[in-house]
Amino acid sequence: MIEMSDPFEHTREMFHMPQGVIYLNGNSLGPLPQRAPAAMTRVARDEWGEMLITGWNKAGWMAQPVAVGDRLGRLIGAEPGHVVLGETLSIKVYQALAAALELRPERRVILSDTGNFPSDVYMAEGLIRSLDRGHELRVVAPEDVESAITDEVAVVMLTDVDYRSARRHNMWAITAKAHAAGALTIWDLAHSAGAVDVHLASAKADFAVGCTYKYLNGGPGAPAFIYVAPRHIAEVSPALSGWLGHADPFAFDPSYRAGTGIERMRVGTPPILALAALEAALDIWEDVDMQALYSASTRLSQAFIKGIEAACPDLTLASPREPELRGSHVSFEFEHGYGAMQACIAEGVIGDFRAPDIMRFGITPLYLNDDDIARAVEIIARVINEGLWDRPEYKTRAKVT
Amino acid sequence: MIEMSDPFEHTREMFHMPQGVIYLNGNSLGPLPQRAPAAMTRVARDEWGEMLITGWNKAGWMAQPVAVGDRLGRLIGAEPGHVVLGETLSIKVYQALAAALELRPERRVILSDTGNFPSDVYMAEGLIRSLDRGHELRVVAPEDVESAITDEVAVVMLTDVDYRSARRHNMWAITAKAHAAGALTIWDLAHSAGAVDVHLASAKADFAVGCTYKYLNGGPGAPAFIYVAPRHIAEVSPALSGWLGHADPFAFDPSYRAGTGIERMRVGTPPILALAALEAALDIWEDVDMQALYSASTRLSQAFIKGIEAACPDLTLASPREPELRGSHVSFEFEHGYGAMQACIAEGVIGDFRAPDIMRFGITPLYLNDDDIARAVEIIARVINEGLWDRPEYKTRAKVT
Does the pLDDT of residue B98 top 60, yes or no?
yes
Does the pLDDT of residue B212 top 70, yes or no?
yes
- Chain B contact for A362 (CB, 8 A cutoff): no
Q: What is the pLDDT of residue B14?
A: 97
Work out the number of other CB atoms within 10 angstroms of the CB of residue A184. Answer: 25
Of A213, A304, A338, A367, which residue is the catalytic one? A213
Question: pLDDT tens digits, residue range B279-321?
Answer: 999 999 998 999 999 999 999 999 999 999 999 999 999 999 9
Does the pLDDT of residue A181 top 70, yes or no?
yes
Q: What is the pLDDT of residue B401?
A: 33
Does the pLDDT of residue A2 top 90, yes or no?
no
Which residues in chain B have Cβ-Cβ distances shorter than 8 Å to A354?
252
Please name the residues between 153 and 212 in chain B that touch chain A, using a CB distance below 8 Å: 211
Confirm if A156 and A111 have CB atoms less than 8 A apart: yes
Confirm if A43 and A313 have CB atoms less than 8 A apart: no
Instruction: Provide the b/e sequence for A41-58 (b: ≥16 CB within 10 Å).
Output: bebbeebbbbbbbbbbee
Confirm if B341 and B352 have CB atoms less than 8 A apart: yes
Residue in A95, A112, A253, A273 to test binding to B, most B beta-carbons within 10 Å = A273
Does the pLDDT of residue A397 top 70, yes or no?
no
Residue B121, Cβ density class (10 Å: 0-12 exposed, 13-18 middle, ≥19 buried): buried
Distance CA B104, CA B224 (A): 25
- Chain A contact for B396 (CB, 8 A cutoff): no
* B89–A269 C-beta distance less than 8 A: yes
Estimate the crossing angle of helix A337-346 against helix A370-385, to 10 degrees: 120
**Structural domain contains residue A2:** no
Query: How confident is the model over B227-251, as a mean pLDDT?
Result: 96
Same domain for B176 and B230: yes
Please name the residues between 95 and 154 in chain B that touch chain A, using a CB distance below 8 Å: 98, 114, 117-119, 121-123, 125-127, 129-133, 139
Which residues have CB under 8 Å from A191's CB, separation 6+? A27, A159, A160, A161, A162, A163, A166, A214, A215, A327, A328, A329
Of B18, B130, B221, the CB nearest to A130: B130
Q: What is the pLDDT of residue B5?
A: 66
Which residues in chain B have Cβ-Cβ distances shorter than 8 Å to A274?
221, 271, 273-274
Which residues have CB under 8 Å from A52's CB, separation 6+? B18, B21, B23, B25, B29, B31, B350
Work out the number of other CB atoms within 10 angstroms of the CB of residue B385. Answer: 12
DSSP count for chain B of H helices, then E strands: 16, 13
ipTM: 0.96
If one counts the domains in chain B, the total is 2
Work out the number of other CB atoms within 10 angstroms of the CB of residue A119. Answer: 27
Give the residue numbers spanning the domain of A96: 37-285
Of A168, A214, A264, A299, which residue is the catalytic one? A214
Please name the residues between 56 and 95 in chain A that touch chain B, using a CB distance below 8 Å: 56-57, 61-63, 86-91, 94
Same domain for A234 and A194: yes
In this structure, of A16-30, A332-346, B248-262, B386-400, the range with the lowest mean pLDDT score is B386-400
Does the pLDDT of residue A6 top 90, yes or no?
no
Same domain for A237 and A307: no
Same domain for A232 and A371: no
Distance CA B149, CA B159 (A): 16
- Chain B contact for A246 (CB, 8 A cutoff): yes
Q: What is the pLDDT of residue B399?
A: 43
Q: How many residues would you count in chain A? A: 401
Which residues in chain B have Cβ-Cβ distances shorter than 8 Å to A131?
130-132
Question: What pairs with residue B184 in β-bridges?
Answer: B155
How far does B290 lie from chain A, in Å, by closest CA? 24
Query: How confident is the model over B345-357, as a mean pLDDT?
Result: 95
**Structural domain contains residue B1:** no
Which residues in chain A have Cβ-Cβ distances shorter than 8 Å to B256?
121-122, 125-126
Residue type, A13: E
Which residues in chain B have Cβ-Cβ distances shorter than 8 Å to A112?
none
Residue in B17, B103, B243, B278 to test binding to A, most A beta-carbons within 10 Å = B243
**Structural domain contains residue B2:** no
- Predicted TM-score (pTM) of this structure: 0.96
Distance CA B267, CA A64 (A): 23
Same domain for A336 and A247: no
Q: What is the pLDDT of residue A398?
A: 54
- Chain B contact for A2 (CB, 8 A cutoff): no
Same domain for A52 and A25: no
Question: pLDDT tens digits, residue range A260-298?
Answer: 999 999 999 999 999 999 999 999 999 899 999 999 999
Ramachandran class of B334: left when φ > 0, alpha when ψ lies in -120 to 50, beta otherwise: beta
Query: Last residue of a domain, which of B262, B285, B308?
Result: B285
Which residues in chain B have Cβ-Cβ distances shorter than 8 Å to A62?
400-401
- Mean pLDDT rounded to a whole number for chain A: 96
DSSP one-letter code for B49: I
Catalytic sites of B, residue numbers: 117, 188, 213-214, 360
Residue in B90, B123, B226, B255 to test binding to A, most A beta-carbons within 10 Å = B90
Query: Last residue of a domain, which of B260, B285, B310?
Result: B285
* Catalytic residue status for A74: no
Element at A341 (helix H, strand E): helix A337-346
Which residues have CB under 8 Å from A1's CB, separation 6+? none
Query: Which residue does chain B place closest to A88, by CA atoms?
Result: B268
Residue in A24, A87, A279 to test binding to B, most B beta-carbons within 10 Å = A87
* B267–A91 C-beta distance less than 8 A: yes
Does the pLDDT of residue A400 top 70, yes or no?
no
* A86–B91 C-beta distance less than 8 A: no
**Structural domain contains residue B343:** yes
**Structural domain contains residue A232:** yes
Same domain for B118 and B217: yes
* B241–A354 C-beta distance less than 8 A: no
Same domain for A318 and A199: no
Q: What percent of chain B has pLDDT over 90?
A: 95
Query: Which residue does chain B place closest to A164, by CA atoms?
Result: B252
**Structural domain contains residue B3:** no
Query: Last residue of a domain, which of B264, B285, B306?
Result: B285
How far is residue A78 CA from its own chain's centroid?
Answer: 15
Of A50, A211, A241, the CB nearest to B18: A50
Does the pLDDT of residue B3 top 80, yes or no?
no
Question: pLDDT tens digits, residue range A322-346?
Answer: 999 999 999 999 999 999 999 999 9
Same domain for B345 and B227: no
* A62–B401 C-beta distance less than 8 A: yes
Does the pLDDT of residue A24 top 90, yes or no?
yes
* Catalytic residue status for A326: no
DSSP A121-184: HHHHHHHHHHH-S--EEEEE-GGGHHHH--TTEEEEEEESB-TTT-BB--HHHHHHHHHHTT-E
**Structural domain contains residue A4:** no
| Predicted confidence band of residue B390 (pLDDT cuts 50, 70, 90) | very high
Same domain for A136 and A47: yes
Q: What is the pLDDT of residue A395?
A: 78
Does the pLDDT of residue A95 top 70, yes or no?
yes
Which residues have CB under 8 Å from A393's CB, separation 6+? A342
Query: Which residue does chain B place closest to A66, by CA atoms?
Result: B401
Strands B83-85 and B22-23: unpaired
Q: How many residues would you count in chain B? A: 401
Same domain for B106 and B169: yes
Confirm if B133 and B89 have CB atoms less than 8 A apart: no
How far does A10 lie from chain B, in Å, by closest CA? 19
Q: What is the CA radius of gyration of chain A?
A: 22
Which residues in chain B have Cβ-Cβ distances shorter than 8 Å to A249?
400-401
How far does A135 lie from chain B, in Å, by closest CA? 13
Question: pLDDT tens digits, residue range A308-319?
Answer: 999 999 999 999
Same domain for A321 and A205: no
Of B49, B139, B241, the CB nearest to A126: B241
Examine residue A356 and say whether the peptide bond preceding it is cis (omega within 30 degrees of 0). yes
**Structural domain contains residue A401:** no
The CATH number for A374's domain is 3.90.1150.10
Nearest to B171 by CA among B233, B107, B227, B238: B227
Query: How confident is the model over B127-133, as a mean pLDDT?
Result: 96
The CATH number for B189's domain is 3.40.640.10
CA angle (B66 as vertex; A62, A125 as ends), nearest 5: 75
Does the pLDDT of residue B391 top 50, yes or no?
yes
